[in-house]
Chains A and B, each alone.
Chain A
Amino acid sequence: MVITSRSTINSVFFLILDFISVGCLFIMVGAEFLGMILLIVYVGAVAVLFLFVVMMLNVAEQKQSWFIGKKSTHIPTGLIVSVIILLELLVVVGGWKYKEDLMSSSTLLLSEISNTHQLGLVMYTDYILYFQLAGIVLLLAMIGAILLTFRERVGVKKQSYLNQISRDPSNAVELIEVKSNQGVKLDD
């Protein structure tokens, strides 16, 4: 539904539905921490930004549909990618058998601890280096995004909070005695 629906907004909504169902799958497998984090990060933050961008750009409805017999360049590329992913999946699922004895020997012993604790124990001890590296990659991406969009413009009016707060009546308001029929001349 994400790729077949014509309006971009609808496909974003279906994408959100996808994220939610992936979260539900995680919870059903027993990884409730991962499922919840997926909900918070993807559905709560990332998908909101998607929706934002799509709504702001006001993308017109796609003229090209998959089911109308027009020429489309997306189908071959999509097919190649999906075949590659299918092959990879087959390799992974096929390779699963070899790890079974490894699974039963070390991982299952820990299963009495809740999986949040388990995750923390592994993440912050054995894999601390990779964890920190992932963090640095994310930080770099963030800095890069800011650097790409940041440009200094001249002549923009900005509010300075310090000035706004530190104003006081004695130098902001002036009481002027106005004589009748003469008016006031302000020098500014």
Chain B
Amino acid sequence: MIEYLEILGQEIYKVIFLVVPILVSVAMIVWLDRRVWGLVQKRKGPNVVGPFGLFQTLADALKYIFKEIIIPASANKVVFILAPIVTMTLALVAWAVVPMSEDLVLANINVGILYLFAISSLGVYGIIMGGWASNSKYPFLGAIRSAAQMVSYEVSIGIIIINVLLCVGSLNLNDIVIAQKELWYVIPLFPMFVIFFISSLAETNRPPFDLPEAEAELVAGYQTEYSGMMYAMFWLGEYANILLMCAMGSILFLGGWLPLMDIYPLNIIPAPIWMILKILFLFLLFALIKAIVPRYRYDQLMRLGWKIFLPFSLIYLVFTASFLFYFDKLPKVNI
């Protein structure tokens, strides 16, 4: 019994050391997002609270905590409260398998990439539950839109993942990173990288695909009825998901924690820093796109997902497979 408690204590200690940095980095990333957004539009962005406005998000979070939580009278209370919790939990749970270096990972499981994919496909439940439980029209429309959008773009993300897996021959995230030691997959699979990036924009409901919360049409989509801490949890979950998508992109295509080149001044920088730099690079692209690109129309979004991305990634899958087969480069399975 005591042994069991000791193990439990160690695990909790590990989990806390994973979750706290993620929450802090989410706060920082929100600041960065608003800052970049401001700079693109020739504004200053948040720059008052703390040095360069770094503590702006913390101040916002404090404000949210002290606000009153309002639950609509006609809402389904249990589901209404459950929805932000589901979003937030799923966003944090997925981080357990993301490797920051060869051995700096909470759970190095065999099917890591499938786990990530499964968790990100569960993310849609928080939104549907929130939209339905609010029992009002705008949230419901927003939830329906976002569910359709996320389910459609997951399909093309799945096929892109298969593309990478064909080159690696393993579902383990660390193996995927190590397989890119010679050449990052962003070079041979560049079209797939572009499609993955755009699909992950759609998957996380970021602009230009932020139709579920298009404020001109739907007020704030599924979040309309939420207030105070519950809204903040939706929002934290959303940004944690964006970070997760960036991490997934850097693992699949940008060589994860590997240095840029295996030469002297670059390979003394520790692996987690490379990983963080790559995530930041992808996030900067996310933030820039939010500022630059106008919103898509809904039917255009669906057409892009089903009629362009899906066939193209399928064709590229056939191409990758036949290329690997013809040049005998298929990964060897040790039987």
* Interface residues in chain A, defined as those with a beta carbon under 8 Å from any beta carbon in chain B: 9, 13, 16, 32-33, 36-37, 39-40, 43-45, 48, 51-52, 55-56, 113-114, 116-117, 121, 159, 161
Measured between C-beta atoms, what is the minimum distance from B96 to chain A in Å? 14
Chain A residue numbers with a CB within 8 Å of B76 are 9
A113 in contact with B335 given A32-B110, A36-B114, A36-B115 (CB within 8 Å): yes
Measured between C-beta atoms, what is the minimum distance from A49 to chain B in Å? 8
The reply on B124 being an interface residue by CB < 8 A is yes
- What CA separation (Å) do A102 and B95 show in the bound complex? 41
Chain B residue numbers with a CB within 8 Å of A44 are 118, 121-122, 124, 151, 154
Q: Are B121 and A114 in contact (CB under 8 A)?
A: no
Chain A residue numbers with a CB within 8 Å of B121 are 39-40, 43-45
Measured between C-beta atoms, what is the minimum distance from B176 to chain A in Å? 14
Q: Are B125 and A16 in contact (CB under 8 A)?
A: yes
A37 in contact with B114 given A32-B109, A161-B303 (CB within 8 Å): yes
- What CA separation (Å) do A106 and B144 show in the bound complex? 49
Q: A48-B147, A52-B128, A121-B333 are in contact. List 4 more A-B contacts (CB 8 A).
A: A32-B111, A36-B115, A44-B154, A161-B303
Measured between C-beta atoms, what is the minimum distance from B179 to chain A in Å? 16
Q: Are B132 and A48 in contact (CB under 8 A)?
A: no
12 A-B residue contacts at CB 8 Å? A32-B111, A33-B111, A40-B158, A44-B118, A44-B124, A45-B121, A45-B154, A48-B125, A51-B128, A52-B128, A52-B144, A121-B333
* Interface residues in chain B, defined as those with a beta carbon under 8 Å from any beta carbon in chain A: 76, 79, 109-111, 114-115, 117-118, 121-122, 124-125, 128, 132, 140, 144, 147, 151, 154, 158, 171, 299-300, 303, 333-335
Q: Are A52 and B147 in contact (CB under 8 A)?
A: yes
Number of interchain pairs (Cβ within 8 Å): 66
Chain B residue numbers with a CB within 8 Å of A56 are 144
Give the 8 A-B residue pairs with the shortest CB-CB distance, closest first: A44-B121, A36-B114, A39-B118, A40-B118, A32-B111, A36-B111, A55-B132, A36-B118
Q: Are B299 and A114 in contact (CB under 8 A)?
A: no
Q: Which residue of A lies closest to B158 (CB)?
A: A40
Q: Are A9 and B132 in contact (CB under 8 A)?
A: yes
Chain A residue numbers with a CB within 8 Å of B111 are 32-33, 36, 116
- What CA separation (Å) do A48 and B146 show in the bound complex? 12
Which of B109, B128, B303 lies in contact with A48, CB distance below 8 A? B128
Chain B residue numbers with a CB within 8 Å of A114 are 110
